Structure formats: structure tokens, C-alpha cells
Structure 1
Amino acid sequence: MALLALAGPAAAHPHMFVDTRLEAIFDGGGRLTAVRITWIYDELTTLMSVTDGGYDKDGDGALSVAEMEPLQGFDMEWGEDFLGDFQISRGAEKLALVPGPQDWTSDWKDGHLISTHVRRLAVPVDPATGPLVLKPFDPGYYTAYAIIGTPEITGRSDCTAQVFEPDLTKAQKALAAALDEYNPNQSLEEMGYLMIGESYAEEVRLTCGD
């Protein structure tokens, strides 16, 4: 997550919580071309961001349009090592995405910073060739993404999108295996992150056609 430089090393549980909405976008030929992603940040992360940046100028606990202006694009300046915490796959194949976010928006509502952006596929894909899996996750598990609502589908009427929870038994085993790799003599900086985020990720399975 590119919102704040809050991350600490060796995080074994998430510290930032982001509700996530997904919209699958199809072209006229019925191919998936993009996914619109909405991130709704938890209240604590929002409060820290607004307070540390001094954005609530009048101190009323809300952000006006003018106060929100300097926060436009607050989480859209991605470094080279940040891939957007999002993956589309078909079977064992991970589909290539165009680097970086497009068509982004930024907002504040009811104590939450909210942003949307579009991730485009490098090559549009027809789900008839196999179900697609859309998965938002932070590999280092500093941020936990929770898919909320029913994913939207734009451009086709014969598709279904189902949300699936992670297998927590497998996730706990992945966590235990990752912890076993660490040496107690390592410093926190040397330990780094436990790369277990995908094991704890929710996913959307997108199927189309009869």
C-alpha cells in the first residue's frame, strides 16, 4: 500500500485495513479489459493521514472539497516496487497488467479516505477460455483487504462473480512455515516481511457463458 510510510518489518498480522470493491469491465467483444478497484481505508489510517498532514484546516472532523484538494491522488504515486496489491489469474497463469493505476479518483466520506483506480490488462482476455480469479492482497500482509459487496460486472450479462474466503488452515500453516525460516539472531531489518499475504486473501472467481 502506497498511502503512508507506516510499514514495519516482520509484520505477522495486518496493521492497515482496506475495504475493497471490484468492478470487472468487458469490451464489446466480451473480453475482460480492466478492473475498477475501490479502496476504503479504515478510520484509524484515515485519521492518522489527515492529522499528520494537517489537512483538516478548520478542525471540524470532516474534509471539505477544498481541504480534500491536496489529498487528490494521495495513494496513486506508486514506486517501482509496488505492484498495486492486485492480481488476476487463470489457472496457474498470472495475467499481465498495465503498470500503474489509471483513471483514479480520491474522496473522503464518513471518516474514511476513499480512492478508486482502474487496472488494465496488458492483453484482454475472454473468460470463456477459463474462469478468472481476481485477488487483492498485500504480499507482506501489512495491509488486509476485505472484499465488500457483490463485485460489479460491466459489459456482459452472462457472468457471475463469487467471493471466496481464504482457507485459514492453510494460511496458518503458511505463517508457521514462514516463521520457521527466521533466525532469532536476526535484526528486525534483516527479518523483513513475512510474505504470507496471498494465503490470507479473499478472492473473486469470475465465470462467463453457459
Structure 2
Amino acid sequence: MKFLNSLSIAALFCLGVASQASAHPHVFVDARLEVVADDDGNVTALQNVWRFDEFFSSSVILDYDANMDNQLTGKELTDIGETVRQSLAEYGYYTQISDNGEDVPLAEPDVIHADMVDGQLLLIFSAKPSRPVRLAGHLTFGIYDASMYTAIDFQRDEDLVTVGEAFERCRSAVVRPDPDEIISENSDALTAAFFNDPTDMSKLFATRLDLTCTD
């Protein structure tokens, strides 16, 4: 199995120094996120679908097409999913969960399924928070790359959704921050150093699902 031998996969998930040095997207992803809760009001899963841009997807085909048939099937796709699962652990699977101001890491998913549809790589996986998260107070959920190397976008508000009757006691909104307002409000922090090393400031620009729930 290839583990981080692919230049394209490594560039996306492992070259943190290079990504921080350029601080602008090189890979583009259309995402869908479903936040699932049980009847007791506990978040049980974050279900993800990521669709990668065609240029990046074509480079993955070149790297993982072991039988040289210009398509990805079977073990080739399994290898991609496992490579991503291991590589993204260091980056928290690009997932941001805030439970009343406290960051909650995402637990490692059991498997990441890879597929190639219409020339674009799909990654599909479900994972849960690393600790219990109850629907109470102010919660936020989002997907973003702190290095800004990968641009993860939700094309429609309907791509950030909740699943479960327990969410009936929550007010939800998809928040799409205005970059100009963010820059204006944080002008003192957005120095040249930020653009060389974005760190966690980049989450200010990220689209997120915002919930306010009564317990």
C-alpha cells in the first residue's frame, strides 16, 4: 500500500510548511456536512462528503492508477481512503467543533471511502466527536484547512444540515463570514506574519453551522 508516497496526496495532507508559505488555496473541495444527534440530544456523528476539483483529482489518478487503465477501482480507491484517514488525523480531519467556546476534536473515523465520479475524487466518511457533545447552549460545526492550502466550500446552505428530532430545540443558521468585515474587525492581527502562517485565524473566514439550543 502507498502511504504518503503520492505527491498529490502528500501535498494536500502533509506539506504543512509549504502550505503556510503560500497561504492561498491550491486544492478546491465542495463539501457536505450532516450533523447527526440521537433522541437524547447528543451528537452522534458528523457525516462528510468531499468532492475535489478536477485538476487535483486527475493527479490522484496518475499516482494511484496501479494497473494503468486511467481509472480508479477496488484496491486503488481503498489505498487512497486509508492514506487520507491516516494523514488527516494530524489535522483533525479539517473539522472544527466548538461546544460553548471549547474546541472538541473529531475522533478518527473507522474508514474513509474514496470514489471517482465524473472525473472528480469523492471522499465519504462518518466520525464522531472525541468526547460527548450535548445539544445545549452555543455550538458550531465547520470544515476548514487552517493553512489555507485547501479551500473547502459549501456551495449551498443545504449542504450544512442537522439530522435528528433533538435539533427541534435548537435555532440553527449557516454563517458565511464576510471577508471584508473580518479583515476590518481584525486588522491589527492580520499582519504579514498571518499570511505567512495563518494558524487558527483562518477559521474566522470559514463557513460554519451555528446552533443555539435549550437543554
Matched, 1:137 2:148: no
Question: 98, 102, 113: which one pairs with 2:110?
Answer: 102
Structure 2 unaligned residues grouped into runs of 5+: none
For 1:100-129, what per-residue CA distance to the aligned partner results, in whole angstroms no more than 9, with x for missing partners? Answer: 2234322111111111222312332332x2
Structure 1 unaligned residues grouped into runs of 5+: 183-190
Distance 1:132 1:107, change over 3 A: same
For 1:59-113, what per-residue CA distance to the aligned partner results, in whole angstroms no more than 9, with x for missing partners? Answer: 3xx4345754543434211366322111111342212433x22343221111111
Distance 1:20 1:80, change over 3 A: closer
Contact 2:85 2:111 in 1 (8 A): no
Point out the structure with the larger helix share.
2
Contact 1:147 1:163 in 2 (8 A): no
Larger deviation: 135-144 or 200-209? 200-209
Contact 1:137 1:144 in 2 (8 A): yes
Aligned residues: 197
Matched, 1:5 2:17: no
Matched, 1:112 2:120: yes
TM-score scaled by length of structure 2: 0.75
CA distance in structure 1 between the aligned counterparts of 2:121 and 2:193, rounded to whole angstroms: 37
Contact 1:179 1:194 in 2 (8 A): no
1:186 aligns to what?
A: none
Q: What SS does the corresponding residue of 2:61 show, helix, strand or coil? A: helix
Q: What SS does the corresponding residue of 1:133 show, helix, strand or coil? A: strand
Q: Which runs of 4+ in 1 moved over 6 A?
A: none
1:197 aligns to what?
A: 202
What pairs up with 1:111-190 in 2 under 5 angstroms?
111-127=119-135, 129-149=136-156, 150=158, 151-156=160-165, 158=168, 159=170, 161-172=172-183, 177-181=189-193
TM-score scaled by length of structure 1: 0.77
State the identity as a percent.
Answer: 26
One-letter code of the match for 1:105? H
Contact 2:95 2:106 in 1 (8 A): no
